[in-house]
Structure 1
């Protein structure tokens, strides 16, 4: 056994209010089909042009859970990073996201609660014309320093 200390994401003491991250993603038809296959979700609003044309959206939209997945993935990878535990998610969907549409997610640390060991992160999703598509507030428990993790 070694005394190596493996660090993953940022610990709460390393995070500052105002810290930010920007991630731009597009959700492909392949991503949507993988989600639908995994969850057995057969909502025609996500895949059928003939159906979607008859709705206010006029074309298929991205399942909201895929947008939430991008948010949680960015938190797990970057801010605070690997080892983080999401303890609460509140997402407000403002406008639909369409297949192959670029979405820029802006993350900002808005509160650090040292007593509860929780960081609150606001997220805003924008399209390429700066229209707001979603906003979210995520409460995250950052990782702690662990010893001897292989």
Structure 2
């Protein structure tokens, strides 16, 4: 696995990671993060919510973006500097989410890359959008 330097990245380069988010993922995330909001873990409560069922944590979904950035584009050695997010639709248990990143700006002087970030479900509905700013490794990283 290699981390790409800024000189190995071009505008419109893309990468993605896809995962089906399960009840186990949600409970593990709740335990790790401490976010025990009943909308995610309490079925009785969630039935009375606007979603009518339990939903996946928004930041668990957004974490799939981090997986793409840290393992593929730019990859190992990348420093995640910032991320803005807009949550458009709930992610439900057992939805398969595709997290995709697209290079939209390269700042060679500051060694920064700006990427559009998009998460879609198995029905190709956009559930999350945003923009990430990262610093790729200065030298090729072989992990």
Structure 1 pair 128/8, CA: closer, same or farther in 2 (3 Å)? Answer: closer
| Distance in 1 (alpha carbons) for counterparts of 2:106 and 2:77 | 17
Instruction: Give a deviation string over 1:93-132, Cα, whole Å, max 9, x none.
Output: 0111011111122211011011111001111111122211
Q: Which runs of 5+ in 2 are unaligned?
A: none
Instruction: Give a deviation string over 1:53-108, Cα, whole Å, max 9, x none.
Output: 11110110111121121111110000000000011111110111011111122211
| Distance in 1 (alpha carbons) for counterparts of 2:140 and 2:66 | 22
- What secondary structure does 2:90 align onto? coil
RMSD: 1.9
Q: Is the 8 A contact 1:21 1:79 kept in 2?
A: yes
User: Which residue matches 1:71?
Assistant: 65
Give the superposition deviation at 1:22. Answer: 2.5
**Partner of residue 33 from structure 1, selected from 27, 41, 45:** 27
Instruction: Report the number of matched residues.
Output: 143
| Distance in 1 (alpha carbons) for counterparts of 2:51 and 2:140 | 48
- What secondary structure does 1:30 align onto? helix
What does residue range 1-150 of structure 1 map to in structure 2 within 5 Å? 8-145=2-139
Following superposition, which runs of at least 4 residues in structure 1 exceed 3 angstroms of deviation?
none
- What secondary structure does 1:107 align onto? strand
Which structure has the larger Rg? Answer: 1
| Distance in 1 (alpha carbons) for counterparts of 2:115 and 2:68 | 11
Q: Is the 8 A contact 1:8 1:143 kept in 2?
A: no
TM-score computed with the length of structure 2 as normaliser: 0.92
